Amino acid sequence: MNAQATTTTAHPSLRGRTVLVTGALGGLGTAIVDAFAASEARVAVHHLGQAGEAAERVRRLTEAGTAAMAVEADITDWDAVEGMVARVGSELGPIDVLVNNAGYMAPGRLAEISLEEWRKTLTVDLDGVFLCSRHVLGSMLERGAGVIVNVSSQLAFKGARDYVSYCAAKAGVAGLTRALAREVGPAVRVNAIAPGPVDTPFITPWATEEWKRERTGDLVIGRLATPEEIAPTVAFLASDDAALYHGQVLHLNGGGVMA
C-alpha cells in the first residue's frame, strides 16, 4: 500500500483576511501579529505614539511578503477609533478580524488608588474594547461575517492583591465577550483569551523576582508564559477551525485557572 505524503502547516489559513491588532508593538502584540502574518492575513499594526517603531515593523512584514500597514489611534477616543477603522478599511480592506489586545496595568490598592488611576485602567482596558468593537461591528454585520478576539486575564477570575482596577476591567472584558457573542452571533464570532503572567515588557516596571515567584507559584507550569505560546490560540480563534467557539474565554494560563 502506497502512502502519499501530505504537506501541513502549523498555522490556520487566514489568507486574504484583514486583521487589526491593537497594542501591536508590545510583546504579546508582536507575537500575535507574527501569528497572523504566518497565517497569510493582511495585518494592521496599531500603536500610539510609536510611529518610527511601527514603520520599521511594517517594513519588515512587507519584506517578508505580508500586506501590512501601521495605524495610530488613542483607543479611548471615539473619533480616533472611527478614523482608524476607516483607514484600515481603505488601505487593506474591511476588517475581518479584530484583536483587542491593547491594555494598561498599574498596581494600586483600593484604599489608596485615586479616581484618576482607577478610571485610566477601566478606560483603556474596557472602554477601549467597547470602542474598537463598536466601530468594526457595523461592517462585519453588513457582510454577515467577522471575528473579534478580546484579551482578558486570569486575574478576572482569581483576583490579585494590588490590582483591583485591572481585575475589574478584565472581568468586564469577559462579560462583554459573552454578551456580545449572544448579540451578534453566529454571523460574528466573539471570544476571548485569559492569559496568566506573560514575560513581556508590559510587566517590567514591577516584575521583581519576588513578584514573579508570587505570580507563578500556583501555576501548574510554575513559570511565566511566553508571547509565542499565547499567539497561536488567537490565530486559531480567528480561523474557520474555531467555528463552534462563541462567547468562550480560553484560559491560557498554565493551570492558574481551571474552568
- Residues annotated as catalytic (active site), given as ranges: 166
Q: Are 144 and 187 in contact (CB under 8 A)?
A: yes
CB 253 within 8 A of CB 219: yes
What single DSSP character describes residue 108? Answer: B
> Rounded to an integer, what distance in angstroms lies between the CA atom of residue 173 and that of residue 180?
10
Helices (H) and strands (E) in the chain, counts: 9, 7
Element housing 29 (H / E): helix 27-38
| Residue 204: Cβ-neighbour burial (10 angstroms; 0-12, 13-18, 19+) | exposed
For residue 171, which phi and psi values (nearest 5 degrees)?
Answer: -65, -35
Extract the C-alpha cell encoding 8.
501541513
Q: How many CA atoms lie within 13 A of 72 on its CB side?
A: 8
CA distances from 166 to 149, 151, 173, 178 (A): 19, 12, 11, 19
Using omega within 30 degrees of 0 as the cis cutoff, is the peptide bond preceding 186 cis? yes
Give the type of residue at 42. Answer: R
